[in-house]
C-alpha cells in the first residue's frame, strides 16, 4: 500500500485523460478573473480557494501575452498559501503550456512530466484570461498522483494507509515468529535424531521433522505474500487484477503446503500406517479441486477485466466524440 508507481499513475492518466482535462478546466475557469493579471493579493486568495477544494494543486503563477512571468510563484508552504519571490520575469514562452495555448484553445494541458522541484509526476495547465487588448495566462502545476487519487475518491484511504501498514506489519511479524518457532522445533528433532544414530526401519520421526519444515515454509511464504502485497507494493484496489494476484498467490501457497502434506501422508501409508491412506487421498482431491478452482477463477477474472476495459474504452471514445 505504498504510493502509486509512475507506471500506474500514467496508465490511469491515459484512461481518464478527458476527465482530467475537464477537472483542470473547471479549476481554472473558477478562478479565471482578469484582475489576477495585476493584483498579487487576488492570486494568493485564488490559490487559497483552490487549495482548500483541490489539494493536488501545488503552484500558481501568471504570464503576460508574450509568455513572460509577471507574478511571483504562489505555492503552499507548510500548509500555508504564500507568495514566494521566485520565478518573476522568467521567459516561459518556450514551455508547451504557453506555445500550444497561443495556437488555438483557451485551455492547454501538458503531458505528464517529472517536476524539477519535487521530482514527482506533474501536469501544467494554462488558461487565457482578459480581452484582446490586454490578456495573459493563469498557469497551475498539479501533482498528478494526488489528482488521480482525488478523482478516484482514494484520498481518505490514503490517509489511513500508515495504520493499515502497521497492522499488516505486526501480523507478518507474528507469522515470522511462528516460522522461527517451527524451525527451532525441527532443529531440536533433527539433533535428537542424529544423536540416536541409525534410524529404525519404519520410523516416522523424520516425517514429523519434514512436516515442521513444510509448515514453516508455508507460513513464511504466506507472511512474505502479505508483506509484499499489503506493505511494500502498491495495490490498486480499483483493479481486479490486483485482487486476483493476491488471491492467486495466497491459494498457491496453500496448494504447495497441502500437496507436500498429502505426499508425506502417502509415504507414511506406504510404510505400513494404513490409516493414513484415506486422508492422503482426500488431500490429493483437495489439491486438485483447489487447482481447478484457481484456474477457473483466474481465467474468468482476466476475461471479466478485459470486458470492463473494452467497455470503459467505448464509453471514453463516445464521451470524446460528443465533445
* Per-residue model confidence as pLDDT tens digits over 228-266: 877 887 666 666 667 777 788 888 878 887 887 787 787
pLDDT at 64 > cutoff 80:
yes
Residue-level pLDDT at 1 = 44
**Highest mean predicted confidence (pLDDT) among 40-49, 123-132, 162-171, 314-323:** 162-171
d(CA 188, CA 193): 9
Q: Which of these, 81, 137, 74, 75, lies nearest to 105 by C-alpha position?
A: 137
* Mean pLDDT value of segment 107-111: 86
**Highest mean predicted confidence (pLDDT) among 249-263, 281-295, 308-322:** 281-295
CB 54 within 8 A of CB 150: yes
Residue-level pLDDT at 184 = 92
The fourth-level CATH superfamily of domain 6-151 is: PAS domain (3.30.450.20)
Q: What is the mean pLDDT of the chain?
A: 80
Residues near 223 by beta carbon (within 8 Å), at least 6 away in sequence: 172, 175, 176, 179
Least confident of 54-68, 212-226, 261-275: 261-275
* Mean pLDDT value of segment 124-142: 85
Q: Is the pTM of this model over 0.75?
A: no
Amino acid at each position: 500500500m505504498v504510493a502509486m508507481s509512475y507506471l500506474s499513475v500514467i496508465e490511469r492518466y491515459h484512461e481518464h485523460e478527458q476527465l482530467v482535462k475537464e477537472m483542470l478546466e473547471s479549476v481554472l475557469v473558477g478562478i479565471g478573473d482578469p484582475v489576477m493579471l495585476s493584483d498579487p493579493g487576488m492570486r494568493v486568495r485564488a490559490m487559497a480557494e483552490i487549495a482548500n477544494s483541490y489539494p493536488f494543486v501545488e503552484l500558481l503563477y501568471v504570464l503576460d501575452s508574450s509568455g513572460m512571468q509577471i507574478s511571483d510563484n504562489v505555492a503552499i508552504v507548510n500548509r500555508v498559501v504564500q507568495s514566494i519571490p521566485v520565478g518573476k520575469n522568467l521567459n516561459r514562452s518556450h514551455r508547451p503550456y504557453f506555445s500550444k495555448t497561443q495556437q488555438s484553445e483557451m485551455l492547454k494541458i501538458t503531458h505528464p512530466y517529472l517536476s524539477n522541484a519535487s521530482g514527482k509526476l506533474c501536469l501544467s495547465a494554462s488558461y487565457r484570461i482578459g480581452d484582446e487588448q490586454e490578456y495573459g495566462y493563469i498557469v497551475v502545476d498539479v501533482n498528478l498522483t494526488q489528482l488521480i487519487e482525488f478523482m478516484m475518491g482514494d484520498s481518505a484511504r490514503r490517509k489511513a494507509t500508515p495504520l493499515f501498514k502497521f497492522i499488516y506489519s505486526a501480523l507478518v511479524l507474528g507469522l515470522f515468529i511462528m516460522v522461527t518457532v517451527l524451525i527451532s522445533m525441527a532443529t531440536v528433532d533433527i539433533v535428537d535424531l542424529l544423536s540416536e544414530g541409525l534410524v529404525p526401519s519404519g520410523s516416522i520421526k523424520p516425517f514429523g521433522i519434514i512436516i515442521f519444515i513444510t509448515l514453516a515454509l508455508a507460513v513464511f511464504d504466506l507472511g512474505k505474500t502479505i508483506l509484499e502485497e499489503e506493505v511494500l507494493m502498491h495495490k490498486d484496489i480499483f483493479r481486479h487484477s490486483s485482487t486476483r494476484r493476491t488471491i492467486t498467490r495466497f491459494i498457491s501457497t496453500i496448494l504447495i503446503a497441502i500437496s507436500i502434506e498429502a505426499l508425506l501422508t502417502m509415504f507414511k501409508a506406504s510404510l505400513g500406517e494404513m490409516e493414513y491412506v484415506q486422508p492422503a487421498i482426500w488431500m490429493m482431491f483437495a489439491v486438485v479441486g483447489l487447482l481447478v478452482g484457481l484456474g477457473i477463477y483466474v481465467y474468468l477474472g482476466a476475461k471479466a477485466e478485459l470486458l470492463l476495459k473494452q467497455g470503459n474504452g467505448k464509453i471514453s471514445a463516445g464521451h470524446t466524440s460528443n465533445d
